[in-house]
Amino acid sequence: MRMLKGEKLKFDDESRALYDAVAPTYQDSHFDQIISQLEAKIPGKDPLWERYEKWRKPFVIPKEKLDAVFQLAIKECRARTQAHVALPPNESFTVEYVTNKPWGGYNWYKGNFHSVIQVNTDLPIYIDRAVDLAAHEGYPGHHVYNSLLEKNLVRDRGWTEFSVYPLFSPQSLIAEGTANFGKEVAFPSKSERMKFEKEVLFPAAGIDSKRADEYYAVQDLMKQLNYATNEAARRLVNGEIDESAATQWLQKYTVAEPARAQQGVKFIKRYRSYVINYNLGEDMVRRYIDKRTGSDPEKRWSEFGKLLSSPRLPSGLTTNRH
């Protein structure tokens, strides 16, 4: 209510008030160590983001093949989810390709177990994003989460309030956290995902799969820079830096080309502390699931399914309460 009246909270106060969680703070030196490892993997004289863009160019999905590749990824993620989670029999979703948005992908849940997933094609889409987007926006991510809430809470129990999803609320940490962690549930081992991508997605995109291992070794390092977005957002929201400094910071510490860094700043301006829901949310969901299941993939699906279909608060993920 205070925010609706125009009050601007500090980043951590806002995330605590809206999402029931506060992200850890990292110094620049934490990211510098990861950047130096990337520097070694992609040597050269140009700025690292330029070298990275050149290096990963061969892994762009050509626009005319995007839908075919994405549909194959969706089909695989859906089959893997369906084998473990009872989905409503008439669930479905459609994919649209859009431009000029501050995000990379978005799930618009329409009710009656139907979603429209929009994929933003402003910037090149790389091969690893096919499974990431299919799992995050679709199976077992947002589409499944919203469908199960509608089935279990709205229809079976008559809890009408769950027919509304307040975006700026603790529900989003669970939603984004499960959507991000969902790809690890769908592909419990890296080798499983690599096999599917090398045999199915790389050929469909016309990309040489011989460099897949090299590509993913760099992506693993890039993932360690995830929390850098939070630092840029924290500083921008707190008024410590301006938009141009935030863009430069994202360029350096998320190794983003200028257009991608600008899109990142656009997202932060629109969604502010929401950014913590992706990385902190994923880590909190992973810890919660791992604590209950160890490394048993079957148990993992069952705990994940429960988490998707019941009302939770983020603080409840860190205690022993069920």
Q: What average pLDDT does this structure show over 284-295? A: 91
pLDDT band for 103, please (50, 70, 90 cuts). Answer: confident
Q: Is the pLDDT of residue 191 over 60?
A: yes
Q: What average pLDDT does this structure show over 67-71? A: 96
pTM: 0.93
- HEC letters along the chain: CCCCCCCCCCHHHHHHHHHCCCCCCCCHHHHHHHHHHHHHHCCCCCCHHHHHHHHHHHHECCHHHHHHHHHHHHHHHHHHHHCCCCCCCCCEEEEEEECCCCCCEEEEEEECCEEEEEEECCCCCECHHHHHHHHHHHCCCHHHHHHHHHHHHHHCCCCHHHHCCCCCCHHHHHHHHHHHHHHHHHCCCHHHHHHHHHHHHHHHHCCCHHHHHHHHHHHHHHHCCCCHHHHHHHHHHCCCCCHHHHHHHHHHHCCCCHHHHHHHHHHHHHHHHHHHHHHHHHHHHHHHHHHHHCCCHHHHHHHHHHHHCCCCCHHHHCCCCC
Q: Which residue has the higher pLDDT, 320 or 314?
A: 314
How many residues comprise the chain?
A: 322
Q: Is the pLDDT of residue 295 over 80?
A: no
Look at residue 215 in the predicted model and tell me its pLDDT: 93
Q: Is the pLDDT of residue 321 over 70?
A: no
pLDDT band for 25, please (50, 70, 90 cuts). Answer: very high
Q: What average pLDDT does this structure show over 281-292? A: 95
Cα torsion 165, 170, 176, 177 to 10°: value is -140
pLDDT digits (tens, 9 = 90+) for 144-158: 999 999 999 999 999
* Rounded Cα distance, 12 and 9, in Å: 8
pLDDT digits (tens, 9 = 90+) for 200-256: 999 999 999 999 999 999 999 999 999 999 999 999 999 999 999 999 999 999 999
Q: What percent of the chain has pLDDT over 90?
A: 91
- Computed over every residue of the chain, the mean pLDDT equals 94
Q: What average pLDDT does this structure show over 166-179? A: 95
Look at residue 322 in the predicted model and tell me its pLDDT: 47
Which residues does residue 114 pair with via DSSP β-bridges, in sequence order?
92, 111
Q: What average pLDDT does this structure show over 260-264? A: 93
pLDDT band for 320, please (50, 70, 90 cuts). Answer: low
